[in-house]
Structure 1
Amino acid sequence: MTSNKLRIDKWLWCVRIFKSRSIAAEYCRKGRVQCGDQELKPSSQIENGMVITVRKDSIRYSYRICSLPAQRLSATLAKDCFENLTPQEELNRLHEKQTSHFYRSDGIRPTKKERRELEEFLEDF
């Protein structure tokens, strides 16, 4: 089931952090996946015990890699492949973001274009 090294984009997809491998690779190319201070390319090799940071939805998630699966796992099995080290403050920010509503000052929901621009802007944080 496990091997010594695995590509970071494949691992992120296998443990269901990203929905597709191409999305995982895109996040790596944009510099949103790091190991320490070093940005990881999609082809970067990872090993057990490494700690990676993923910037996703303006939240910094931290994971310690526990195992390297050979294929995509179910959600229940995927949880055993990493340890979530994300600080509670970051998780609280995520909860606040999910519960808050992005309304314009006049009380009307943002248009589709405004929402997309807002989401794109927030991705960079």
Structure 2
Amino acid sequence: MRVDKYLWCIRYFKTRSIATKACKDGKVKVNGDSIKPSRDVYPNDKITVRKNQITYELQVLDTPKSRLGAKLVDMYRKDITPAETLQKMDLLKYTKDYYRKKGSGRPTKKDRRDIDDWFEEPDKDIDANKEEE
């Protein structure tokens, strides 16, 4: 089975064309060698995939006939990604939260109205005081 089709079948990529592009860009290696998308994979091959700033490592156990359900993926591959790499994923999540907290950013329509009301209130009070004098 082709390596791009294999990665699509075991759900590492959403579409086969994305898997093909990753192979062409050098983000997929088989047994340490950069490969073309048409390279065949066999049982006991070691595949390294660079995706979302994380390098996943997996071992081919068998080749499926077609795309699999998420529960059946472990029958065809063994995830041998080091624990340190998976900890990087957690750190990336924390850094994203640090730069922008949930709910921050552009103000909503309600927020803008509250801001406008806050700025308009002192002006009305000043105008009312001038009329009284």
1:102 positional shift: 5.5
Higher RCO, 1 vs 2 (CA within 8 Å, ≥6 residues apart): 1
Letter in 2 for 1:91: L
Given the alignment of the two structures, is residue 80 of structure 1 paired with residue 71 of structure 2, yes or no?
no
Unaligned runs of 5+ in 1: 1-5, 110-125
Identity of aligned residues (%): 37
The answer on whether the counterparts of 2:31 and 2:45 sit within 8 Å (CA) in structure 1 is: no
Give the TM-score taking structure 2 as reference length: 0.71
Given the alignment of the two structures, is residue 13 of structure 1 paired with residue 4 of structure 2, yes or no?
no
Where 2:56 maps in the other structure, the secondary structure is strand
1:36 positional shift: 2.9
Residue equivalent to 1:37: 32
Given the alignment of the two structures, is residue 91 of structure 1 paired with residue 86 of structure 2, yes or no?
yes
Give the TM-score taking structure 1 as reference length: 0.76
Where 1:89 maps in the other structure, the secondary structure is helix
Q: Deviations over 1:70-109 (max 9, x none)?
A: 10010001121100000000000011112332627xxx75
Identify, as 1 or 2, the structure richer in helix: 2
The answer on whether the counterparts of 2:58 and 2:79 sit within 8 Å (CA) in structure 1 is: yes
Residue equivalent to 1:56: 51
Letter in 2 for 1:37: G
In the TM superposition, structure 1's runs of 4+ consecutive aligned residues that sit over 3 Å from their partners are none
Residue equivalent to 1:71: 66
Where 1:45 maps in the other structure, the secondary structure is coil
* Cα RMSD after superposing both structures: 1.5
Where 1:12 maps in the other structure, the secondary structure is helix
Higher Rg of the two aligned structures? 2
Number of aligned residues: 101
